[in-house]
Amino acid sequence: MKRLTLLRHAKSGWDDPVKRDFDRPLNGRGEKAATLMGQYALDSGMAFDLLVASPAVRVVETLDHFLDSYGKPIETVWDRRIYLASAAALFDVLHAVPESADNLLMAGHNPGLEDLILELVPESDGDALRAEVETKFPTASLATIALDVAHWKDVASGCGRLVAFTRPRDLDAALGPEAY
């Protein structure tokens, strides 16, 4: 069984004049949320064999804060295919993950990450976690999916079960939508 944890980049700044969307940095709220989520991952005992991430500035900065508070090194692969990728493109990325990695952390963007979760995890009555993701996969959120596959190349629609979903506001109410 493989395990996939998805991390959406933290809140970025729209008021910072950058030439390209790719170069948008985090804002202060995003930095705080990314740090909090890294500490949460550490406190929850999450372990990762590999990190595959978009090289967009907001993802890189999210991971800088996340990993500083997580405190454990993770082998990292920067993959431009993840930048604003569709769920289909993210499946291609997953299919190329080395078999030596059983616990993968992928960091990227919406709507691709949310769509990937909804593709991997089939609808079922009473699945409150999936219903929450279907409502919204907010910035800096973590979702962990247990995949019923032995090999990354076999990851397909419906092969997963959402085992955890945590938003920054679950840990600090000040990071919720009412804080805008």
Buried b vs exposed e over 51-81: b needs ≥16 C-beta within 10 Å? Answer: bbbbebbbbbbbbebbbebbeeebebebbee
pLDDT given at position 14:
73
Please tell me whether residue 60 adopts helix, strand or coil conformation.
helix
Is the separation of the CB atoms in 109 and 8 below 8 Å? yes
Q: Which residues partner with 108 through β-bridges?
A: 8
List CB contacts of 167: < 8 A, sequence separation 6 or more.
138, 140, 141, 175
The CATH number given to whatever domain includes residue 28 is 3.40.50.1240
Residue 167, annotated as binding a ligand: no
pLDDT in tens, 92-149: 999 999 999 999 999 999 999 999 999 999 999 999 999 999 999 999 999 999 999 9
For the segment 72-91, the average pLDDT, to the nearest whole number, is 97
Is 10 in contact with 151 (CB distance < 8 Å)? no
When pLDDT is cut at 50, 70 and 90, the band that residue 19 belongs to is confident
Number of folded domains that form the chain: 1
pTM score:
0.95
If you average pLDDT over residues 84-91, what whole number do you get? 97
Position 13 scores a pLDDT of 81
Instruction: State the residue range of the domain holding 105.
Output: 2-179
The pLDDT value given to residue 178: 56
Q: Which two tokens stand for residue 29?
A: 């709220």
Q: How far apart are CA 132 and CA 134, in angstroms?
A: 5
Helix (H, G, I), strand (E, B) or coil at 50: strand
Which residue shows structure tokens 């291609």? 92
What order of strands is seen across the sheet that includes strand 142-147? 76-78, 50-53, 103-108, 2-8, 142-147, 160-166
